[in-house]
Chain A
């Protein structure tokens, strides 16, 4: 039986890579392979271009002491050591002097909000607190790579949000590379640069959180993202594909009317030849007019309404107020060119498009099965298997 097989991934420095999957799909086994707590049966794990699997036990120890730290799903605290001693454990193992490790451990405990508990023992702590101690222990070591096996799963929503923010901050400030396991899709979306969905030891799909939500490869993947509020990841650019295209001011009024009837829209946005927004056209104005051979811009453009323009990367969920004005919004790129329009209706249409599976898109830069390793990647895992006897 293969617990993990044919898994390949690349993680760049400073990235958060999230692994999702049902219980027993091999997530923990996979991250345990990364620091060789479980010896992969074959394949390679490259850290800055060097294969961890080929390291001697001394080299491996050094990597574990300085470069990779792990937060365990089952906490794995040492029951005979106080919280502070647990947190400084990694530092003690690599031989740091007492004052400096006390200080670092104290800071790590503060980060997770447990400074007051440093003299207690793990048995005195709740599950969520233990999990935070496990996190502090890994942070105290200040590793390049953090392996986090469901680090927030036992936390209440408030502390969880705090620690998520802390993690994002940490990752911005000091560029940690993080391999993160979670069951919570919201968490994955919030934190990760890349998400991989696992099933029976294999990656079913890998991509950015948006890709996973908007283009789930199959039902299994979709089940994860189903309860996700799609409006929180869909950008104006995504909707632009559904919405009507903007109209040029020099088009004839009758063809514009025909167009609007076809799409069923009441309003349209006019742009100049440089695709800069000019103003709105109301369908009613055209229908009441008899002079439809004129250019639409000159006679029918409304002067009283300024075009509301939004950047194409804006998250749709943040545009509800603008959309409530009835008028469509112009979606513009960085240079101010209008690339599309959208109104509340388009957004609804787009949000309701669940359940359509696209072919699995593994964005080539993030996912490689051919074993090619580019210089920029920080951690590369190639087609590796872990055989588990059963």
Chain B
């Protein structure tokens, strides 16, 4: 006898089945409500992405990459999108991009407030932390099971799975950023009579911003991973073309799909990292001056440019 006799095995699978059945039957309106805003945003984003001419999107990423992460990264982003276009994967790439934008948006909108609560309350963090630990150690496939059962298959359930899977980093790093705000900065606010809300807006969040941006970057990379995996539940995008390529033993199609994913991932990583760096450096440099401001200064002859005072 090298395993437990069958009569002792508990009907756990049945219990799960019953719970899910009950959830699906009784909680249907709730899941539909949850699904609704995500579907709306996804539709809007993907309509936009698909209606834009491809050269405009390429130009957009070239410029955004340049402004956030420097000219080299800007060129890299531009070239990546050009390559994707030439590989004939433009529509799939735009689908993937829509999924990513939607998922990351929801992660930020939901995750940052949760992270703020966690950063301000030790009790809440004590409860939340083990949950995040479990979420981050759970293999990505496992997320698909409850999502399919509760939301069905397709792109929207895929986005939901992506949101849930990639939320933890932004929560963690928002929490961390808030906890690392120097005590003296907080004290300065307090001594001038800042309310909790004023301190949050004027001191805590701006000083936590670099950390929050790192969280957004990590969330984006996790969403990237998940956006490939959700092709298994029928979500559209580059993942699906890889999956099809593998299914048809078409190495070429799977290969270009994979390459497009990598190019997209690196481009988005560079851009979000650049944003993070920018938020860190903002206060080390001169306040950037608007074109209008410069023009006014030149016209009035005011030599109030700090650079001229050195």
**Which range contains the number of A residues in contact with the other chain?**
35 or more
Partner pick for B192 among A69, A81, A118, A120, CB 8 A cutoff = A69
Residue of B at shortest CB range from A38?
A: B187
Of the stretches A87-95, A199-207, A375-383, the one at the interface is: A87-95
- CB of B283 within 8 A of CB of A116, answer no
- CB of B187 within 8 A of CB of A76, answer yes
- CB of A74 within 8 A of CB of B184, answer yes
- At the interface, yes or no: A151 with Cβ under 8 Å from chain B? no
Chain B residues in 8 Å Cβ range of A63 = 193
Residue of B at shortest CB range from A122?
A: B283
Chain B residues in 8 Å Cβ range of A110 = none
What CA separation (Å) do A92 and B195 show in the bound complex? 12
- CB of A62 within 8 A of CB of B193, answer yes
- CB of A35 within 8 A of CB of B309, answer no
- At the interface, yes or no: A18 with Cβ under 8 Å from chain B? no
Name the residue among A75, A76, A120 with the largest chain B CB count within 10 angstroms: A76
Residues in A52-66 with C-beta less than 8 Å from chain B: 60-65
- At the interface, yes or no: A332 with Cβ under 8 Å from chain B? no
- CB of A79 within 8 A of CB of B185, answer yes
**Which range contains the number of B residues in contact with the other chain?**
20 to 34
- CB of B187 within 8 A of CB of A72, answer yes
- At the interface, yes or no: B229 with Cβ under 8 Å from chain A? no
What CA separation (Å) do A65 and B304 show in the bound complex? 30
- CB of B309 within 8 A of CB of A80, answer no
What CA separation (Å) do A117 and B287 show in the bound complex? 11
Chain B residues in 8 Å Cβ range of A62 = 193
Chain A residues in 8 Å Cβ range of B306 = 116-120
Chain B residues in 8 Å Cβ range of A75 = 184
Chain A residues in 8 Å Cβ range of B194 = 61, 93
How many A-B contacts at CB < 8 Å in the complex?
87
- CB of B198 within 8 A of CB of A121, answer no
- At the interface, yes or no: B203 with Cβ under 8 Å from chain A? yes
What CA separation (Å) do A124 and B281 show in the bound complex? 12
What CA separation (Å) do A74 and B188 show in the bound complex? 10
Chain A residues in 8 Å Cβ range of B209 = 80
- CB of B283 within 8 A of CB of A79, answer yes
Q: Mark B283-303, 1 if CB is under 8 A from A, else 0.
A: 111110000000000000000
- CB of A78 within 8 A of CB of B284, answer no
- CB of A121 within 8 A of CB of B188, answer no
- At the interface, yes or no: A70 with Cβ under 8 Å from chain B? yes
- CB of B188 within 8 A of CB of A79, answer no
- CB of B191 within 8 A of CB of A64, answer yes
Chain B residues in 8 Å Cβ range of A61 = 193-195
What CA separation (Å) do A79 and B181 show in the bound complex? 11
* A78 and B287 contact, Cβ closer than 8 Å, known pairs A37-B187, A72-B188: no
What CA separation (Å) do A123 and B280 show in the bound complex? 12
What CA separation (Å) do A249 and B268 show in the bound complex? 103
Chain B residues in 8 Å Cβ range of A72 = 184, 187-188, 191
Beyond the given A72-B188, A116-B306, could you list 14 further A-B residue pairs with CB under 8 A, ordered by the A residue number? A64-B193, A69-B192, A74-B184, A75-B184, A79-B207, A80-B207, A89-B202, A93-B194, A116-B304, A117-B309, A118-B306, A119-B306, A120-B306, A124-B284
Give B residues with C-beta under 8 Å from A: 184-185, 187-195, 198, 202-203, 206-207, 209, 282-287, 304, 306, 309
Give A residues with C-beta under 8 Å from B: 35, 37, 60-65, 69-70, 72, 74-82, 89-90, 92-94, 116-124, 137, 141
